Amino acid sequence: MKDLGERFPILNEMQKGEEVIWVNPDKVSFAESMKGCELSMMDVEDAEERLKRFAPFIMRCFPETKNRNGLIESVLTDIPTMKDVINRKYGSHLEGRLLLKQDSHLAIAGSVKARGGIYEILKHTEDLAMEQGMLSLEDDYSCLAELKFREFFSQYTVQVGSTGNLGMSIGIMSAAIGYQVIVHMSADAKQWKKDLLRSHGVKVVEYDSDYSEAVKNGRRLSDENPGSYFVDDENSRTLFLGYAVAAKRLVGQLTEKGITIDAEHPLFVYIPCGVGGAPGGISFGLKQVFKDHVHCFFVEPIQAPCMLLGMATGLNSKISVQDIGLSGMTHADGLAVGRPSGFVGGVMKPMLSGEFTVQDAKLYDYMRDLLETEEIFLEPSACAAFQGVIKLQQSEDIQRYLKENDLTDKMQDAVHIAWATGGSLVPENIREEYKKTYLA
């Protein structure tokens, strides 16, 4: 570690539990970044088409998706009052327009996991049914809700390791299709999330250990059972592509608001990061669509900055936050991951603009700020996005980044999106607790 600290001085600050801001030295132009990349826009479009095929089925099983014809999508909301408060209270000097992408309110799972997690289950379902000749591309997929299909899928098991939200999306969707479902929950998982899953008939296995252990065990148990499919959050390309579809849908939402993204109107996006799949997939999609005009930043807790650690050192999944003496413990359960996805670190290396880390206490302040200004509730993990919004124009390193990218004089026309990754399913009594947590 001493050696690593000398080569990467930011590690010394991280090790002390200080908040840091990191600008990615390996970022290159979009065109350059796609050379040798294993995924492309075609893969994102394939995922988008699959979600369209499943829309009639989703609408049938989850009537709350009717208003969007079975697509699981969230609103994009202007939050000007939050912007004013951010500038006044935190001295942010934020210019441009501030929007909130409310994945916190996605149907079915109430978090960003309703994108990747649900998509992966649908893909697996289509694969199984097609292998058996029970389904073809031209069919109306609402037939999948029929008894014949439910009986067929009940022979199969789906398993996943989760800190909470991934388990909820996988669990609820798998149960709706008819699978046996086992969710392996790390110690960070909140009780109410386990209770909710059990109420859907999902088997929840609890661990005293962290996320990586829950995943490892889940993977092993699944591998022992030939009828079991393991959703591998650390390596899954399918999950990643499910998240990436968000970008294509965002284009239409920006157009509806009369927003154009181009060289004069850059887009800045701030996404809370755990193992990396959600922020990585969304950023990958955004880069395909907006190319060099979008600047993606991840945000992680000071005790669990696994993606930053992996990317800054180039060690990706070969290093964990415990290796530099951090605990991995955080109130942000959705981000409580000690070891990042090596796959995501590799794909993001030439694309990501940078990272911010944040103290737990601030997540609750940002949560209260948003509630007071915009009457929108987010879970603490999701509030990490605001750390990026708040710190962007206060940081010398970022000022340099803006200058190098010819952005300094464009900031008054910039568009900022805080990606709100979860919260709508948090029960009322827990919300009340959160409102009082870390109250100064």
Task: By CB under 6 A, name the binding residues for ligand PLP.
Answer: 111-113, 165-166, 272-279, 334-335, 337, 379, 381-382, 421-422
- In the complex, least distance from residue 325 CB atom to ligand PLP, rounded to whole angstroms: 22
Coil, helix or strand at residue 184: strand
- Residue whose CB is less far from ligand PLP, 102 or 111: 111
- Residue whose CB is less far from ligand PLP, 128 or 418: 418
- In the complex, least distance from residue 385 CB atom to ligand PLP, rounded to whole angstroms: 9
- Residue whose CB is less far from ligand PLP, 76 or 231: 231
Residue type, position 338, single letter: G
58 and 65 Cβ atoms separated by less than 8 Å: yes
Q: What pairing do the DSSP bridges indicate for beta strands 180-185 and 97-102?
A: unpaired
- In the complex, least distance from residue 379 CB atom to ligand PLP, rounded to whole angstroms: 6
- In the complex, least distance from residue 401 CB atom to ligand PLP, rounded to whole angstroms: 22
Q: Cβ contacts of residue 285 below 8 Å, gap of 6+?
A: 44, 243, 244, 245, 246, 247, 248
Half-sphere exposure of 89 (CA within 13 A, CB side): 17
310 and 340 Cβ atoms separated by less than 8 Å: yes
Helices (H) and strands (E) in the chain, counts: 19, 11
76 and 99 Cβ atoms separated by less than 8 Å: yes
**Residue of closest CB approach to ligand PLP:** 274
- In the complex, least distance from residue 93 CB atom to ligand PLP, rounded to whole angstroms: 26
- In the complex, least distance from residue 264 CB atom to ligand PLP, rounded to whole angstroms: 31
With 0-12 / 13-18 / 19 or more C-beta atoms within 10 angstroms meaning exposed / middle / buried, residue 356 is buried
- Residue whose CB is less far from ligand PLP, 150 or 368: 368
- Residue whose CB is less far from ligand PLP, 267 or 275: 275
- In the complex, least distance from residue 403 CB atom to ligand PLP, rounded to whole angstroms: 30
Strand ranges across the sheet with 21-23: 21-23, 354-358, 294-301, 267-272, 415-420, 97-102, 76-78
- Residue whose CB is less far from ligand PLP, 48 or 379: 379
Cα–Cα–Cα angle for 196, 198, 199, rounded to 5 degrees: 65
Distances (CA, A) of 218 to 13, 231, 232, 373, 433: 34, 9, 9, 42, 31
- Residue whose CB is less far from ligand PLP, 94 or 385: 385
- Residue whose CB is less far from ligand PLP, 161 or 350: 161
Instruction: Identify any residues that bridge with 422 across adjacent strands, giving them in sequence order.
Output: 111
- In the complex, least distance from residue 104 CB atom to ligand PLP, rounded to whole angstroms: 8
268 and 290 Cβ atoms separated by less than 8 Å: no
- In the complex, least distance from residue 252 CB atom to ligand PLP, rounded to whole angstroms: 23
* Look-up of token digits 């990501």: 352
- Residue whose CB is less far from ligand PLP, 180 or 303: 303
Looking at 265-351, list the stretches that DSSP marks H as alpha helix, in order from N- to C-terminal side.
277-290, 306-313, 342-348
- In the complex, least distance from residue 386 CB atom to ligand PLP, rounded to whole angstroms: 13
162 φ, ψ (degrees, to nearest 5)? -155, 155
Cα gap 287→250, rounded to integer Å: 12
21 φ, ψ (degrees, to nearest 5)? -125, 130
- Residue whose CB is less far from ligand PLP, 128 or 389: 389
